[in-house]
Amino acid sequence: MKSMTGFGAAEREGSRGAIRIEARSYNHRFLDIRLRVSRSLQAVEPRVYQWARDRLVRGRVEIIVQWEEAGSGAEPLRLNEHALAFYLDLEKRLRGEFGVAGALDIQTLLRLRDLVVLPEEGPDVEEEWARILQALEDAVSEMEQMQEREGNILREDLLARIRVLKEHRDRIESMCGDVPERFRVRLEEKIAKLMGRPGIDPDRIAQEIVLYTDKSDITEEIVRLSSHLESCEQALSDGSMTGKRLEFLTQEIYREVNTIGSKTPCADITYVVVDMKSELEKVREQSQNLQ
All structural domains of the chain with their residue ranges: 6-73+123-147, 78-117, 150-287
* Average pLDDT of the residues in 177-197: 59
CA 35 → CA 5, 50, 59, 241, distances in Å?
Answer: 17, 11, 14, 29
Q: Is the pLDDT of residue 281 over 60?
A: yes
Return the closest-CA partner of residue 165 out of 249, 229, 228: 229
To the nearest whole percent, how much of the chain has pLDDT over 90?
Answer: 41
Question: HSE of 62 in the Cβ direction (CA atoms, 13 Å)?
Answer: 10
* Average pLDDT of the residues in 1-18: 88
Instruction: Report phi then psi at 207, rounded to 5.
Output: -65, -45
pLDDT at 91: 87
CA 149 – CA 190 distance, rounded (Å): 59
Find all residues with CB under 8 Å of 154, minimum gap 6, and list them.
Answer: 1, 3, 286, 289, 290
User: What rounded mean pLDDT belongs to the chain?
Assistant: 83
140-144, 245-249, 262-266, 280-284: lowest mean pLDDT where?
Answer: 262-266
* Confidence band, pLDDT 50/70/90 cuts, at residue 195: low
Give residue-wise pLDDT tens across range 209-236: 555 555 567 778 889 999 999 999 999 9
Give residue-wise pLDDT tens across range 139-185: 999 999 999 999 999 999 999 999 999 999 998 888 876 655 565 55
At position 92, the amino acid (one-letter code) is K
* Average pLDDT of the residues in 31-55: 91
pLDDT at 165: 95
* Average pLDDT of the residues in 98-122: 76
> Under CATH, which number does the domain 6-73+123-147 receive?
3.30.230
Q: Is the pLDDT of residue 241 over 80?
A: yes
pLDDT at 72: 47
Q: Cα–Cα–Cα angle for 57, 62, 67, nearest 5°?
A: 125
pLDDT at 188: 57
Give residue-wise pLDDT tens across range 44-69: 999 999 999 999 988 899 999 998 87
Cut 0.85: pTM above it: no
The DSSP output letter for 115 is: G
pLDDT at 110: 81
At position 122, the amino acid (one-letter code) is G
76-80, 110-114, 273-277: lowest mean pLDDT where?
Answer: 76-80
pLDDT at 113: 72
